[in-house]
Amino acid sequence: MTEAWDGLLVDARLATLAGDGHGLIDKGALGWRDGRIVWVGAQDAIPAGISAAETLSAQGTLVTPGLIDCHTHLVFGSDRAREFEQRLHGASYEDIARAGGGIASSVRATRAASEDELLAQSLPRARALLADGVTTLEIKSGYGLDLDHELKMLRVARRIGAALGIDVATTLLAAHALPPEFAGRADGWIDEICTHILPAAAQAGLADAVDAFCEKIAFTPAQTRRMFERASALGLRVKLHADQLSDLGGAALAAEFGALSADHLEWTNSDGVRAMAAAGTVAVLLPGAFYALRETRLPPIEAFRAAGVAIAVATDLNPGTSPLLSLRLAMSMACTLFRLTPLEAMLGATVHAARALGLDDRGRLAVGQRADFVLWNVHEPAELCYWIGGPLAREVRVGGRLARAAN
Ligand code: DI6
Ligand code: FE
Alpha helix (H) residue ranges in 44-114? 81-88, 93-98, 103-112
Mean pLDDT of 27-38: 98
Q: Assess whether the C-beta atom of 135 lies below 6 angstroms from ligand 1.
A: no
> What is the 251 CA–ligand 1 centroid distance (Å)?
17
Rounded CA-CA distance 308/273 in Å is 9
Coil, strand or helix: which one is 402? strand
Whether the per-residue pLDDT at 161 is higher than 80: the answer is yes
Q: What are the residues whose beta carbons fall under 8 Å from the beta carbon of 168, sequence distance 6 or more?
A: 136, 137, 138, 139, 157, 158, 160, 161
Mean pLDDT of 350-377: 98
Ramachandran quadrant class, 102 (left: phi over 0; alpha: psi -120 to 50; beta: rest): left
> What is the 399 CA–ligand 1 centroid distance (Å)?
32
Let me know if domain 3-64+363-402 sits in CATH 2.30.40.10.
yes
Whether the per-residue pLDDT at 407 is higher than 60: the answer is no
Cβ contact 308:283 at 8 Å = no
Whether the per-residue pLDDT at 329 is higher than 90: the answer is yes
pTM, full prediction: 0.97
Which residue spans of the chain are classified as CATH 2.30.40.10? 3-64+363-402
Confidence at residue 97, expressed as pLDDT on a 0 to 100 scale: 84
Q: Mind listing the pLDDT tens digit for each residue in 243-281? A: 999 999 999 999 999 999 999 999 999 999 999 999 999
CATH of 67-356, picked from 3.20.20.140, 1.20.140.10, 3.20.20.70, 2.40.30.10, is 3.20.20.140
Q: Mind listing the pLDDT tens digit for each residue in 136-150? A: 999 999 999 999 999
Mean pLDDT of 198-220: 97
Q: Assess whether the C-beta atom of 176 lies below 6 angstroms from ligand 1.
A: yes
Residue 382 vs residues 31, 167, 342, 379: alpha-carbon distances, Å: 25, 26, 5, 9
Share above pLDDT 90 across residues of the chain, in percent, rounded to a whole number: 96
Q: Assess whether the C-beta atom of 243 lies below 6 angstroms from ligand 1.
A: no
Mean pLDDT of 25-46: 98
Q: Assess whether the C-beta atom of 323 lies below 6 angstroms from ligand 1.
A: no
Rounded CA-CA distance 61/25 in Å is 11
Whether the per-residue pLDDT at 405 is higher than 80: the answer is no
Which residue's C-alpha comes closest to atom 4 of ligand 1?
Answer: 321
pLDDT bucket at 406, cuts 50 / 70 / 90: very low
Q: Assess whether the C-beta atom of 320 lies below 6 angstroms from ligand 1.
A: yes
Which residue spans of the chain are classified as CATH 3.20.20.140? 67-356
Whether the per-residue pLDDT at 111 is higher than 80: the answer is yes
Confidence at residue 238, expressed as pLDDT on a 0 to 100 scale: 98
Confidence at residue 1, expressed as pLDDT on a 0 to 100 scale: 61
Neighbouring CB atoms inside 10 A of 305's CB total 14
Closest ligand 1 atom number to CA of residue 322: 3
